[in-house]
Amino acid sequence: MSEFAIKRMKDLPSVHLLGAGTAMCAGCGGLQALHEIYDLLGRNTVVVNAAGCMTLLANYPYTPFRGSWLYTSMASAPAGAQGVRDAFDILLDKKRLAPEENLTAVVLTGDGAAYGMGWSPPPPAMERGLDFIYICYDNEGYGNTGQQTSAATPHGARTPTHPGVAGFGGEKKDLFAIWAAHRPAYVATVIGSEPLDLARKIQTAVSVKGPRLILSLAPCPTGWDYDPMDTVEIGHLAVKTGVWPLKEYRDGKITHTRVPHPRAPVEEYLAKQGRFAHLFEPVRNNKIIAEIQAGVDAYWRAVGP
Ligand SMILES: Cc1ncc(C[n+]2csc(CCOP(=O)(O)OP(=O)(O)O)c2C)c(N)n1
Ligand code: SF4
Ligand SMILES: [Mg+2]
């Protein structure tokens, strides 16, 4: 990055997450959500990032973040956040840090870490009541290494590890429900294409203390195989079809913040993405399309009218 660009970043008055000449894909839905979230969280944060696509944002010594950034191994981000929190608490106790210099510990990981490889640290962090915000951008696969199947991959999606005619035969894990079962301070699903809903949830997350999860669906042109210009439309379709329910958990109660009515058929969402193309060509796979629709219908039936 040129000296001019660095100076310009330093001179900017407000908090903006800028591309730092890094290797992010055009149209990245995870970056869109992170950008919106970071604009609200601001510079008084220490982002503890587990290996994944977003790691490429900060290439030492450059970073587009105004606050601090700490890189950990894939499973260790919540443990890193604990260390950061403890250090700040000790410094505050010893009056070696003024309260206004306190920073929020923010974990940032993909779904591969949050749903699977890095799942073991969040439950004890929740049990300890760790005061942190965990942001997961969920692109439904191990994106940085080629979009292999993760525990967040949806039924029927074709991935390099499930390349057959039926795609992935399993089901996406319900991370929202798993976190909520631990009764943390706050859990919410968001998506970058619904910025007002996202903004309200980030404001709520900031207003409470304790363990908080912000789980964002992250449309991924590279891994999901679609034109980068369609990221916002795909995000809207994920909500309109009911595939990605927008909701929050607080004080033992789950509230849906958008109830799509009427719901669009799931195939409007599926047909836009190359990872589901085998369900439409060369022969339409009615069975798998119906299975995906049935899963979404069952979810909303259980939610009620
Ligand atoms: C223990 C471990 N295994 C494998 C890797 C290699 N690796 C780096 S990034 C990545 C993908 C992470 O997937 P996800 O958390 O979903 O983030 P995304 O790449 O999709 O942004 C993998 C497997 C690693 N860094 N550490
Ligand atoms: S692979 Fe997907 S999640 Fe990763 S940078 Fe590219 S668009 Fe974003
Ligand atoms: Mg991922």
Contact 114, 141 (CB under 8 A): no
Which band of pLDDT confidence, cut at 50, 70 and 90, is reported for residue 4?
Answer: very low
Characterize 128-156 residue by residue with b for buried, 16 or more Cβ atoms within 10 angstroms of its Cβ, and e for exposed: eebbbbbbbbbbbbbbbeebebbbbbbbb
Q: CB atoms < 10 A from the CB of 169, how many? A: 11
Cα 25 to middle of ligand 2, angstroms = 5
SS3 61: coil
Ligand nearest to the CA of 23: 2
Q: What is the pLDDT of residues 201-237, one digit of tens each?
A: 999 999 999 999 999 999 999 999 999 999 999 999 9
Nearest ligand 2 atom, CA 56: 5
pLDDT over 60 at 97, yes or no: yes
Identify the residue whose C-alpha is closest to ligand 2 atom 2. Answer: 220
Confidence at residue 18, expressed as pLDDT on a 0 to 100 scale: 45
Tell me the C-alpha to C-alpha distance, in Å, between residue 203 and each of 65, 74, 181. 19, 27, 22
pLDDT over 90 at 23, yes or no: no
> Residue written as tokens 């942001």?
135
> Residue written as tokens 């990221």?
231
For β-strands 186-191 and 104-110, DSSP reports them as: unpaired
Cα 147 to middle of ligand 2, angstroms = 9
Confidence at residue 262, expressed as pLDDT on a 0 to 100 scale: 95
Cα 159 to middle of ligand 2, angstroms = 15
Q: What is the pLDDT of residues 124-161, one digit of tens each?
A: 999 999 999 999 999 999 999 999 999 999 999 999 99
Cα 4 to middle of ligand 1, angstroms = 33
Identify the residue whose C-alpha is closest to ligand 1 atom 11. Answer: 142
* Mean pLDDT of all residues belonging to the chain: 92
Identify the residue whose C-alpha is closest to ligand 2 atom 8. Answer: 28
pLDDT over 80 at 86, yes or no: yes
Q: 224: Cβ below 6 Å to ligand 1?
A: no
Question: Which of 74, 76, 115, 222 should be mutated for ligand 1, with most atoms under 8 A from CB?
Answer: 74
Prior bond of 219 cis (ω within 30°):
no
Confidence at residue 24, expressed as pLDDT on a 0 to 100 scale: 83
Contact 42, 15 (CB under 8 A): yes
C-alpha span between 71 and 48 (Å, rounded)? 6
Identify the residue whose C-alpha is closest to ligand 1 atom 24. Answer: 74
Q: Supply 247's token pair.
A: 């909701």
Q: Counting beta carbons within 10 angstroms of the beta carbon of residue 208, is it exposed (0 to 12), middle (13 to 18) or buried (19 or more)?
A: middle
Q: What is the pLDDT of residues 235-280, one digit of tens each?
A: 999 999 999 999 999 999 999 999 999 999 999 999 999 999 999 9
Q: CB atoms < 10 A from the CB of 16, how many? A: 13
End-to-end CA, the chain: 53
Confidence at residue 2, expressed as pLDDT on a 0 to 100 scale: 39
Confidence at residue 22, expressed as pLDDT on a 0 to 100 scale: 56
Tell me the C-alpha to C-alpha distance, in Å, between residue 80 and each of 50, 84, 125, 134, 249. 10, 6, 11, 12, 25
Torsion of CA 88, 212, 221, 246, to 10 degrees: -160
Q: CB atoms < 10 A from the CB of 12, how many? A: 10
Cα 87 to middle of ligand 2, angstroms = 33
Adjacency order of strands within the sheet including 253-256: 68-72, 45-50, 104-110, 132-138, 211-217, 186-191, 247-250, 253-256
Q: What is the pLDDT of residues 28-39, one digit of tens each?
A: 999 999 999 999
Q: Supply 187's token pair.
A: 């859990």
Q: 111: Cβ below 6 Å to ligand 1?
A: yes
Confidence at residue 67, expressed as pLDDT on a 0 to 100 scale: 87
Query: What amino acid is encoded at 77 in this protein?
Result: A
Give this prediction's pTM. Answer: 0.93
pLDDT over 90 at 7, yes or no: no
Q: Range with the lowest mean pLDDT among 2-6, 42-46, 49-53?
A: 2-6
